[in-house]
A and B are shown apart, each in its own frame.
Chain A
Amino acid sequence: MRYFYVKIFLSGIFLLSLGSYGYGQEVKRSKKELKQEKRQLKKARKLTRRFQKVRFFGVETGGIYSQVQDTRMQSSVFDGIGGKLNLTYISETPKGLHEVDLAGGQFAFLSPEHDESQIQNWRADINYHYLRDFRRLANDKILWRLGGAFTGLYNFRWNTRLSNSGITWDGLASLGVASHWSGKLKIPREGAWDYRITFPLATYVNRLPTYSLSSDGMDHSFAPIGTFTRILSEVGISQNIGRNSPNRVRLSYTWDFYSLNESEIHDVRVATHQVLFVFLVKL
């Protein structure tokens, strides 16, 4: 942190020196010189912004509970537990927050109520959130951020009992809006809490054809809100690992639900509850 202030200080000196240089010379500067000064100023600003940025790389792992109903395969609701591994990157500036969840992988073994069969459920997610500081609430106790999100997922299901019809998947890529609230918390050292909710608005869907066997071709379509509904809700608490460590640990609970009304007769509904432990390393 000491280096950070030193860098800010040096950048300021640099910027001041640029201005005083021009003043002291008292000569008519050529266009070329002006351009060069402008470029240097821009570079200095960029440098300053870079030093103000706080970046974290994290590894997330934990348990999940999933419920799946895919009427293309069978009408029953399947549920079960599994695990998840995820990589995450967070970059925070004085103006906002970038969050990237990279290639999160999760699996679960799901069974229906009648317990006759089992689905192997494999899933990969990729999410990007950009959230700008919007407002401070409750006497500055809460920071509210608003922004946009790209959320993509590939959810693969395999029911070996259904032979030719036993494999299906949902490939989904969405653009949407997100909201984020955060505040401080003592747990027992000083930490932070945060809550983020994301709603996709427009989605590209890649599925197996409604009336066909497992390996026969694919359906591509654009699903507006209503045809495709997803709510991604995440609450977490975090704190530094030690008093002097810049690294953090975080415990989060995520509720992720999506519903795709594919056709008059086939719907997909997937709900996942995740409890994740995250280790964040400051870059």
Chain B
Amino acid sequence: MKYIFTSFSLNFSYKWLAILGLMVVVLWGCEEAFLDPPTTDPESIFDEAWNFADQEYSFFEFKNIDWDQQYSTYRPQVTSSTSEEALFEILADMLFVLRDGHVNLRSNFDRSRNWEWYLNSPENFDYSLLERNYFNQEEQFVGPFVYRDFGDVGYMYYGSFSSLVESEDMDFILNKVQDKRGLIIDVRNNGGGATSNVNRIAGHFVAEDRTVGIFRRRNGPNRNDFGDLFGITLTSQRDDPYTKPVFVLTNRRCYSATNRFVMTMGALPQVTVLGDTTGGGGGTPSFTELANGWQMRVSNTQSFILLTDSTNNEQVAFNIEDGIPPAIRVDLSPTDEARGTDTILEAALRRLRE
């Protein structure tokens, strides 16, 4: 041990060790000066929530929302003595204005929401009716799908895009319907989940990758700051795709990833979307946690379908935030429902059998 740390004879100096100790303490003190714990008083929490939406939300212009006006309306309602519940209510009212299912404030005692996108529309779905009058305990549970063989037509129900889709599940169902007239994919009341499952299903209906839409992200502090437009690509999942007629059944509760699924399937030539307009939810949400622990999310992107304008043959971008209209509009008639008939499913069956 010749050189390590010192190569000469000397005695330890307590003075120097004391200086070093002091240096360590001083540096630790610097850390506390740099770190800036946020304040959790009601006014600060309000400002933090308003600012997060201001910097991240992507549909101010599309929905014609004056966000500064909301600040002027709601900020005076908050004082240093505002209770936790009252503050939550004020913030919930302010966020309600955004009319967006992807905008929520979540605390231990409540979750703010605006569900008008489906509550102001007919339900158009009754699972119990299907179970009692169409499935008759003959259905098969294939992975996340409920499959029912109607003889000449296959039917599959997918209730949540949060349920993982395996390729084998799709292969199993598509092999079953290979010799049938067509397939019905029912995604009514599917509120969304993981968009990765969209490709895992829709990729079985194309032989080659194709662009089914475009999207862009909010990328700056100004409310109209957006990045470049990117294509949304559907990736093929099999060499021999299913090319027979497919009907996708929709209602207003088809939201978020389901909305993306309907956009994707709607771009394929063999697919017809039937039922009600989807609920929308075209913006991928961005999340944060406020200083008091409340969790908040707002839409951060925009998605579009590219349509061709028949008058001048030019492509126009259709924003899917407020939903995608079906190719064939059908509502569940109360008379049919009372008789145990699903009008929307019957409409799809009839068209496949024509």
A residues apposed to B, CB below 8 Å: 1, 4, 54, 56, 67, 69, 73-77, 90, 92-94, 112-117, 136, 138-143, 159, 161-166, 181-186, 192-195, 209, 211-213, 216, 229, 231, 233, 235, 238, 240, 246, 248, 253, 255, 257, 259, 264-265, 267, 269, 271, 273, 282
Q: With the chains together, A56 CA to B227 CA distance in Å?
A: 51
Taking a contact as CB atoms under 8 Å apart, the answer to whether A74 and B284 are in contact is no
* Among listed B5-13, B145-153, B164-172, B260-268, interface-contacting one: B5-13
Residues of chain B within 8 A (CB-CB) of A240 are 1
Taking a contact as CB atoms under 8 Å apart, the answer to whether A165 and B287 are in contact is yes
- Residue from A183, A246, A255 within 8 A of B13 (CB atoms): A183
Taking a contact as CB atoms under 8 Å apart, the answer to whether A75 and B291 are in contact is yes
Taking a contact as CB atoms under 8 Å apart, the answer to whether B225 and A211 are in contact is yes
Residues of chain B within 8 A (CB-CB) of A163 are 285, 287, 297
- List 17 additional A-B contacts (Cβ < 8 Å) besides A186-B12, A211-B217: A74-B289, A76-B293, A94-B7, A141-B11, A143-B6, A165-B288, A181-B16, A181-B20, A211-B225, A212-B218, A213-B284, A213-B300, A213-B301, A255-B24, A265-B51, A265-B55, A269-B35
A54-B4 contact given A257-B34, A259-B34, CB 8 Å threshold: yes
A52 to chain B, nearest CB (A): 8
Taking a contact as CB atoms under 8 Å apart, the answer to whether A183 and B295 are in contact is no
The total number of A-B Cβ pairs within 8 Å is 175
What are 19 pairs between A and B in contact, CB < 8 Å?
A: A54-B1, A74-B288, A75-B291, A77-B36, A115-B293, A117-B295, A140-B8, A162-B287, A164-B285, A182-B5, A184-B11, A192-B6, A195-B23, A211-B56, A229-B34, A233-B23, A255-B28, A273-B28, A282-B1
Q: With the chains together, A125 CA to B44 CA distance in Å?
A: 36
Residues of chain A within 8 A (CB-CB) of B231 are none
Taking a contact as CB atoms under 8 Å apart, the answer to whether B1 and A165 are in contact is no
> Which 10 A/B pairs are nearest by Cβ-Cβ distance?
A116-B293, A192-B5, A114-B293, A182-B5, A74-B289, A75-B38, A162-B287, A141-B10, A165-B287, A92-B3
B224 to chain A, nearest CB (A): 12
Taking a contact as CB atoms under 8 Å apart, the answer to whether A141 and B3 are in contact is no
A77 to chain B, nearest CB (A): 5
Q: With the chains together, A115 CA to B2 CA distance in Å?
A: 51
B residues apposed to A, CB below 8 Å: 1-13, 15-17, 20, 23-24, 27-28, 30-31, 34-38, 40, 48, 51, 55-56, 217-221, 225, 227, 284-293, 295, 297, 300-301
Residues of chain B within 8 A (CB-CB) of A184 are 5-6, 9-12
A231-B6 contact given A117-B289, A211-B55, CB 8 Å threshold: no
Residue ID in chain B nearest A4 by CB atoms: B2
A238 to chain B, nearest CB (A): 7
- Residue from A114, A212, A235, A257 within 8 A of B31 (CB atoms): A257
Q: With the chains together, A195 CA to B21 CA distance in Å?
A: 10
Residues of chain B within 8 A (CB-CB) of A248 are 1, 4
Taking a contact as CB atoms under 8 Å apart, the answer to whether A76 and B37 are in contact is yes
Residue ID in chain B nearest A138 by CB atoms: B13
Taking a contact as CB atoms under 8 Å apart, the answer to whether A231 and B293 are in contact is no
Q: With the chains together, A136 CA to B6 CA distance in Å?
A: 10
Q: With the chains together, A282 CA to B38 CA distance in Å?
A: 49
A192-B217 contact given A163-B287, A231-B30, A233-B23, CB 8 Å threshold: no
Q: With the chains together, A142 CA to B38 CA distance in Å?
A: 43
A77-B3 contact given A183-B12, A184-B11, A211-B225, CB 8 Å threshold: no
B281 to chain A, nearest CB (A): 13
Taking a contact as CB atoms under 8 Å apart, the answer to whether B27 and A233 are in contact is yes
Q: With the chains together, A67 CA to B27 CA distance in Å?
A: 14
A194-B289 contact given A211-B219, A213-B301, CB 8 Å threshold: no
Residue ID in chain A nearest B289 by CB atoms: A74
Residue ID in chain A nearest B48 by CB atoms: A75
Q: With the chains together, A185 CA to B5 CA distance in Å?
A: 11
Q: With the chains together, A71 CA to B288 CA distance in Å?
A: 9
Residues of chain B within 8 A (CB-CB) of A77 are 35-37
Q: With the chains together, A54 CA to B3 CA distance in Å?
A: 7
